[in-house]
Amino acid sequence: MSITTYELNHLDHLEAEAIHIFREVAAEFEHPCLMFSGGKDSIVMLHLAAKAFWPARLPFPVMHVDTGHNFPEVLAFRDQRVQELEARLVIASVQKSIDEGRVVEETGPRASRNRLQTTTLLDAIEEHRFDALFGGARRDEEKARAKERVYSFRDDFGQWDPKNQRPELWSLYNGRIRQGEHIRVFPISNWTELDIWQYIARENVEIPHVYFAHERPVFSRDGMWLADSEFVTRTEEEVVVTRKVRYRTVGDMSCTGAVESEAETLEQIIEEVSATRITERGATRADDRVSEAAMEDRKKEGYF
Amino acid sequence: MEFLRFATAGSVDDGKSTLIGRLLYDTKSIFQDQMESIEATSVQMGNDYTNLALLTDGLRAEREQGITIDVAYRYFATPKRKFIIADTPGHTQYTRNMVTGASTADVALVLVDARHGVVEQSRRHAFLASLLRIPHLVVCVNKMDLIDYDEKAFTAVKEEFRSFAMKLDVPDLTFIPVSALHGDNVVERSINMPWYEGSSLLHHLEEVHIASDRNHIDARFPVQYVIRPQSDEHHDYRGYAGTVAGGVFKPGDEVMVLPSGFTSTVSSIDSFDGPVSEAFGPMAVTMRLADDIDVSRGDMICRPNNQPTSSQDLQAMVCWMSETFSLAPRMKLALKHTTRSSRVMVADLQYRIDVNTLHREENPESLTLNEIGRVSLRSTQPLFFDEYRRNRNTGAFILVDETTNATVAAGIIVGSGT
Ligand SMILES: Nc1nc2c(ncn2[C@@H]2O[C@H](COP(=O)(O)OP(=O)(O)OP(=O)(O)O)[C@@H](O)[C@H]2O)c(=O)[nH]1
Ligand SMILES: [Mg+2]
């Protein structure tokens, strides 16, 4: 007698879980939306969403909260993907929030638009009456995220209350909300950085070139390599040098650091990620270095 | 590689978070910057040693109070398996967060402080783990370092726990003496306890057999979403998307759709990557049927000769989770079961369980926060379910308060009828 074992490998398992979540939200909410940053996690999210509804198009728009401080090739990549998927793109612009006086631009060498994004995001949610927003956050990224539900409830002010989250049992998600409230939904909660790379390699998902090692003019700040760009003011000590680097995360250019790397292929990246001793946010995000609870505090205010 | 999900359980301060920290540390799963950050925080908090519990206790309030408030999820892998850890709180007030972490677990680690033995919260959590039918229970008798690694103390806790567990339905029960703080029997076998002949915790987690825990017999496919592309290319496409909740489906299978009772044949099982020859849980696929019948979200696709119970009346155990009001007969609530939403009325509250003695208190007036009891529910619509013990996916439901939208109960179906 032959015994078939019905087992899924870990990537199939994670993929199935994510697809289930995408479909559940599409079925239960009126105005869902997928938040797309151009980073690898949101690229994987788009890929998963396309799989979930195939052969139909995405039943929701894609939103980019645009700080105006983007890697140009990431923007081009965004537009190309959206076109291929025949998806609708909503752009929420931080520059517009500044021009309209909703937020005030920070000044000085450490100015960043990272925090300003929250207002732009919450305004866009209100304007478009979004009731569910897919985000590509993963629990392995950061200790506050490690605590967050797959369906993360936000009140009228977009706030997260980590001390009073709804219980989340089995895969029975409670999507009931009142008008003005919304849910942030995290389909790839259980993925690690390595899972993301292995999946990108397995699925042949296209990603922007900034993720691969390349020569770039950079300067050192807080032990990170920041790209020399029009969006950052350097101090006199911060000298520009050329280094072979790649990005582990891609966000706002003013606060995303690059790591020195020789990894030019996906296989080499996977090897590098398997061996790394530093977390991806630890290596690359200035925004988390403000304080021990920087992420928790930003999330409470309504950040991604 | 296969996944194993496990959750910690047990009373406040018995060492759950420390154990997880130790497991991560000794398997070299902690990154340098995470380690530096908890070292600095430990110094700042005046600890004599690096507090490994800070690896999971990441919220501001948790660090201030030195307790776990909500579940933390952590990930690590060994060459044998990938693990998803849910580190849950021991505090009674946060029992619902423990249930959140435990509801999806394959293995529960129940920690018991060797000095204090089995306390009420250890019993409550062990009972919840058995109610949730976590198939494997590992009792970690912790803080062995504080009792000189004494075998007799370990045996005493073991006997005490075993006599309680006899009244529970626990298919697989293991005991391991550990020191979470020092790492004894966590990843490596301890040299301080030569009398212990079993395996280390990690070794046990790597070896425990979980493949047979899923139901691959009763074919169940709750329809989640109907895919109808509005495009010329796929003009007539109509697919039923969902996650297989039990059994195996193949093209050509004769199936029945509930509630209509219509039968048809699976014409194809589709995915983005091409046709699927066999779909089993937890695969997320899209099914097409040979006949043009009315099928929508909340319907259940099964086999004509193997159907779930279809009824408006169900018998269930519920764990109540609201701190603002209690469950009482005649109360009306929203229910979510598979992909089906309904309204239910509590027809009867038969008994409440005393978690210490497992004694049934008949006909209580209500269930308050964290209490567990047996209810009869009457649903406005028929539900298609199996007993939870037979299938976790089709035997579980949640109850939601219709005014605040809070999730107020976890429910486990034990039967049908009034
Ligand atoms: N001596 C000794 N102390 C321990 C051991 N394990 C944990 N502790 C200490 O016990 C205290 C509580 O540990 P935690 O890991 O926070 O306990 P917990 O079970 O996670 O607590 P909650 O999550 O709040 O329920 C801490 O001071 C730990 O250092 C052990 O094996 N030996
Ligand atoms: Mg804890």
Tokens (6 digits) for B361: 């208190």
Above 50 in pLDDT, residue B298? yes
Query: With an 8 Å Cβ cutoff, are A292 and B228 in contact?
Result: no
Are B143 and B31 spatial neighbours (Cβ–Cβ below 8 Å)? no
Count: domains in chain A: 2
How much is the average pLDDT of B55-64? 91
- Position A102 scores a pLDDT of 84
> Domain check: are B72 and B104 in the same one?
yes
Give the predicted TM-score (pTM) of the model. Answer: 0.95
> Domain check: are B13 and B128 in the same one?
yes
Are B348 and B375 spatial neighbours (Cβ–Cβ below 8 Å)? yes
CA of B15 to the centre of ligand 2 (A): 7
Mean pLDDT of chain B: 95
The number of angstroms, rounded, from the C-alpha of A223 to the middle of its chain's C-alpha atoms is 23
Residue A2 domain flag:
no
- Residue % of chain B over a pLDDT of 70: 100
Output the tens digit of pLDDT for each of chain A's 304 residues. Answer: 445 678 889 999 999 999 999 999 999 999 999 999 889 999 999 999 999 999 999 999 999 998 888 888 889 999 999 999 999 999 998 888 888 888 888 887 777 777 788 888 999 999 999 999 999 999 999 999 999 999 999 999 999 999 999 999 999 999 999 999 999 999 999 999 999 999 999 999 999 999 999 999 888 888 788 888 877 888 888 889 999 999 888 877 777 888 899 999 999 999 999 888 888 877 776 666 556 778 888 888 888 7
- Position A2 scores a pLDDT of 43
> Domain check: are A267 and A222 in the same one?
yes
Tokens (6 digits) for A225: 């390599």
How do residues B283-296 score in pLDDT, each as one tens digit? 999 999 999 999 99
Chain A residues near residue B237 by CB distance under 8 angstroms: 55-56
> Domain check: are A218 and A141 in the same one?
no
Tokens (6 digits) for A274: 């398997």
- Position B78 scores a pLDDT of 94
> Domain check: are B315 and B390 in the same one?
yes
Residue B342 Cβ < 6 Å to ligand 1 = no
> Domain check: are B11 and B150 in the same one?
yes
How much is the average pLDDT of B155-165? 96
Residue B176 CB contacts under 8 Å (≥ 6 apart), including other chains: B138, B139, B140, B141, B185, B196, B198, B199, B200, B201, B204
Domain that holds residue A168: 10-194+293-301
Residue A4 domain flag:
no
Q: Which of B302, B317, B350 is the last residue of a domain?
A: B302
> Domain check: are A221 and A167 in the same one?
no
- Position A1 scores a pLDDT of 41
> Domain check: are B205 and B254 in the same one?
no
The single-letter code of the amino acid at A123 is D
> Domain check: are B163 and B290 in the same one?
no
Distance from CA of B398 to the nearest CA of A (A): 7
Nearest residue (by CA) to ligand 1, atom 27, is: B13
> Domain check: are A223 and A106 in the same one?
no
Query: With an 8 Å Cβ cutoff, are A169 and B214 in contact?
Result: no
Are B115 and B156 spatial neighbours (Cβ–Cβ below 8 Å)? no
Are A96 and A60 spatial neighbours (Cβ–Cβ below 8 Å)? no
> Domain check: are B288 and B404 in the same one?
no
Question: Looking at the partner chain, which of A57, A142, A170 has a beta carbon nearest the beta carbon of B392?
Answer: A170
CA of B14 to the centre of ligand 1 (A): 5
> Domain check: are A273 and A154 in the same one?
no
Query: With an 8 Å Cβ cutoff, are B272 and A276 in contact?
Result: no
The bridge status of strand B239-243 relative to strand B284-289 is: antiparallel
In eight-state DSSP terms, residue B44 is H
> Domain check: are B293 and B355 in the same one?
no
The single-letter code of the amino acid at A247 is Y
H helical segments located in B29-172: 32-44, 60-65, 95-102, 120-131, 151-165
> Domain check: are B144 and B84 in the same one?
yes
Confidence of residue B67 (pLDDT cuts 50, 70, 90): very high
Neighbouring CB atoms inside 10 A of A132's CB total: 22
Domain CATH number, residue B360: 2.40.30.10
Task: Determine the residue of chain A that is closest to B284 in CA distance.
Answer: A16
> Domain check: are B162 and B271 in the same one?
no
How much is the average pLDDT of B299-327? 97
> Domain check: are A87 and A25 in the same one?
yes
Residue B89 Cβ < 6 Å to ligand 1 = yes
- Choice among A67-76, B27-36, B332-341 with the minimum mean pLDDT: A67-76
> Domain check: are B291 and B331 in the same one?
no
Count: domains in chain B: 3
> Domain check: are B287 and B320 in the same one?
no
Domain CATH number, residue A160: 3.40.50.620
Residue B190 Cβ < 6 Å to ligand 1 = no
ipTM (interface pTM): 0.96
> Domain check: are A126 and A58 in the same one?
yes
Q: Which of B163, B185, B213 is the last residue of a domain?
A: B213
Residue A143 domain flag:
yes
Residue A202 domain flag:
no
> Domain check: are A74 and A174 in the same one?
yes
Q: Hey, of A15, A88, A169, which one would you mutate to test binding to chain B, going by the most B CBs within 10 A of its CB?
A: A169
> Domain check: are A97 and A217 in the same one?
no
Residue A222 domain flag:
yes
Question: Looking at the partner chain, which of A10, A142, A170 has a beta carbon nearest the beta carbon of B396?
Answer: A170
Question: Looking at the partner chain, which of B97, B273, B282 has a beta carbon nearest the beta carbon of A16?
Answer: B282
Domain CATH number, residue B17: 3.40.50.300
Domain that holds residue B246: 221-302
Task: Write the CA distances from B152 to A31, A155, A170, B195, integer angstroms.
Answer: 61, 53, 39, 10
Q: Which of B302, B334, B361 is the last residue of a domain?
A: B302
> Domain check: are A16 and A151 in the same one?
yes
- Position A105 scores a pLDDT of 81
CA of B41 to the centre of ligand 2 (A): 16
H or E, element range at B373: strand B372-385
- Choice among A12-21, B52-61, B345-354 with the minimum mean pLDDT: B52-61
Q: Give A169-225 as a DSSP string.
A: BTTB------TT-EEEE-TTTT--HHHHHHHHHHHT----GGGS-EEEEEEEETTEE
Separation CA B161–CA B117 (nearest Å) = 8
> Domain check: are A269 and A183 in the same one?
no
Separation CA A190–CA A186 (nearest Å) = 9
Query: With an 8 Å Cβ cutoff, are B58 and A176 in contact?
Result: no
- Position A146 scores a pLDDT of 95
- Position A203 scores a pLDDT of 97
- Position A285 scores a pLDDT of 66
Q: Hey, of B407, B412, B413, which one would you mutate to test binding to chain A, going by the most A CBs within 10 A of its CB?
A: B407
Above 70 in pLDDT, residue B31? yes
How much is the average pLDDT of B357-379? 96
Q: Which residues are found with C-beta within 5 Å of the ion, ligand 2?
A: B 16-17, 68
How do residues B75-106 score in pLDDT, each as one tens digit? 999 999 999 999 999 999 999 999 999 999 99
Task: Determine the residue of chain A that is closest to B410 in CA distance.
Answer: A169
Closest CA to B347 of B311, B300, B395, B371: B311
Closest CA to A141 of A285, A271, A275, A43: A285
Q: Give B301-325 as a DSSP string.
A: EEBTTB--EEEEEEEEEEEE--SS-
Query: With an 8 Å Cβ cutoff, are B3 and A13 in contact?
Result: yes
How do residues B224-270 score in pLDDT, each as one tens digit? 999 999 888 888 899 999 999 999 999 999 999 999 999 999 999 99
> Domain check: are A15 and A59 in the same one?
yes
Tokens (6 digits) for B100: 């959140």
Q: Hey, of B56, B70, B220, B393, which one would you mutate to test binding to chain A, going by the most A CBs within 10 A of its CB?
A: B70
